Amino acid sequence: MKFHRGIYFVLLLSFLAVFLFVSGCIEPKYDCSVKQGSVTVTNGLNTDALVNLVDKNNNVIQSVMINANSKGKINNICNGRFYLFYELGEQWDPAVNDFRIIIKRSKFVDPLDFDGSNYYEATLQPVVGGNAQTSTVDESNWPK
């Protein structure tokens, strides 16, 4: 059997990637052997919201669009540490999964740690006695 040089190169790269992963030089992003975590978000505002579950590298893992005065849920979350970002806006455009008019972008300061069947609840409107802090997010730091 005759192999081309390109196949040897691919095999070498594959071997190298497996070696680095097994040796611990490349860490997996998340433990997806368990996907039982969830977040329920209550949008008690008069504005629609896009909620993003984001990893430490600012990558969107899952999203949900929540209408004004409604609830939404993100299910099947892998084990790991994630952040909750949200965007308030008008004129939802399903073609680009974003609002045509963006009013505000924010994130919850504290991360959400999932390690099994964690369940979190968050509200976008201020809550008397609530303990979740948020910060404003500018466009350059908005997760993609």
3-class secondary structure per residue, the chain: CCCCHHHHHHHHHHHHHHHHHHCCCCCCCCECCCCCEEEEEEECCCCEEEEEEECCCCCEEEEEEECCCEEEEEEEECEEEEEEEEEEEEEEECCCCEEEEEEEEEEECCCEEECCCCEEEEECCCCCCCCCCEEECCHHHCCC
Is pLDDT above 80 for 2? Answer: no
Task: Indicate the pLDDT class of residue 31, thresholds 50, 70 and 90.
Answer: low
Rounded Cα distance between 107 and 54, Å, is: 10
Examine the pLDDT at 123 and tell me if it is beyond 70. Answer: yes
Mean residue pLDDT across the chain: 82
Highest mean pLDDT among 29-38, 83-92, 116-125: 83-92
Band of pLDDT at residue 124, cut at 50, 70 and 90: very high
pLDDT at 22 over 50: no
Cα torsion 129, 74, 107, 114 to 10°: value is 80
pTM here is 0.76
